[in-house]
Structure 1
Amino acid sequence: MDTKEIAELIELMAKGNLSELEVEREGFRIRLRKEPPPAAAHPHIVYPSHAALVPPEKLKELAAPAAETIREIRSPMVGVFYRSPSPDSAPYVEVGQEVNENTVVCIIEAMKVMNEIKAEMRGIITEVLAENGKPVDFDRPLFRVRPLP
């Protein structure tokens, strides 16, 4: 079994919302188990500074909506979380910014490869949950998003 097949198994777990998967084939056995992500002790809050951001009076409304209306952008891999393409660049997204399916929200560095992570949903960023330059686990929440129709 090669790394591509293992990555496919991880993707299958994520799409099927599985917490454990075990495969045995030709004398090779792999067992994957997803632990619940740790709760963020101190969420990273960043104040908006872009023209395309939601007005400040709307932020209060967005910050505390009913729990069922908030979705999360989760890490598709283990690696180091970066909010911007370089240390001296502005973050890809800010709290209050509207995103769509193709909006790059961050980079996760894994094995010296910089992987752009897209929002994959339409909505407004309400919270940044990961700390810039710190490791993240597979399926860890990175951002909270209020979906838009």
Structure 2
Amino acid sequence: MLKVQEIRELIKLIDQSTIDEFTYETNGTTVTMKKSTATKVSEPQLTEIIEKSQAIETENKPNAVVEVEKNIQTAENAQEQVQAQVNYDAEIVSPMVGTFYRAPNPESDPFVSVGTSVSSETTVCIVEAMKLFNEIEAEVSGEIVEILVKDGELVEYGQPLFRVKSM
């Protein structure tokens, strides 16, 4: 059975190499690793997988190999989900701390919705700071693909508000 340290070393070696897919077999144990050049599994996800593998190893489960392979498959699925989520070219961020509003007043329609085309001068929202209502412009051209903040929510400086796909 592979030890956690051996799995870590394999992951590091594959990560540092240009190899996209790797299969390792020893003593009836098979480990398959695949990577994408666009995005990698994040450090927290990798840490979680290693912790699960350590727990399996310490419990001496007879199906430990199967469990490790499932954890590696989970990491690959997480990586694919991250890739699928990257469906935008730019983010519109808050230029200040304040309260986010999608519309000029509660009775009005929102400035933009998912699917709305915007230009760099298009007002996309209002951020209220110290009783001043600041209209925020897109500063990019494209189509709104995701709204990341709820109406009335507090936002921080630099916090992403919208995701935009260039057309």
What is the TM-score when the length of structure 2 is the normalising length? 0.48
Instruction: State the match for 2:103 in structure 1.
Output: 84
Tell me by how many angstroms 1:126 deviates.
0.2
User: Could you tell me how far apart the structure 2 residues matched to 1:88 and 1:73 are?
Assistant: 24
Gaps of 5+ in 1: 1-63
- 1:39-58 → structure 2 map (5 Å cutoff): none
Q: Which amino acid aligns with 1:128?
A: I
* 1:70 CA displacement: 2.4
On the 8 A contact 2:88/2:163 being kept in 1, the answer is: no
Deviation at 1:66, TM superposition (A): 7.3
AA in 1 matched with 2:134: N
Q: How many pairs align?
A: 85
**How much does 1:65 deviate?**
6.5
Counterpart code for 2:104: P
Aligned pair partner of 1:105 in 124, 131, 138: 124
TM-aligned CA distance change 1:106 to 1:69, over 3 Å: closer
Secondary structure in structure 1 of the residue aligned to 2:127: strand
Partner SS state of residue 150, structure 2: coil
- Divergent runs of 4+, >3 A: none
Unaligned runs of 5+ in 2: 1-82
Distance 1:80 1:65, change over 3 A: same
Whole-angstrom CA distance in 2 between matches of 1:106 and 1:123: 16
8 Å Cα contact 2:87-2:165 kept in structure 1? no
1:115 aligns with 2:134: yes
* Larger RCO of the pair (alpha carbons < 8 Å, separation 6+): 1
Q: CA deviation at 1:115?
A: 0.2
Q: What percentage of aligned pairs have identical amino acids?
A: 49
| Aligned residue in 1 for 2:155 | 136
Which has more helix, going by share of residues?
2
* One-letter amino acid matched to 1:144: R
Structure possessing the higher radius of gyration over alpha carbons: 2
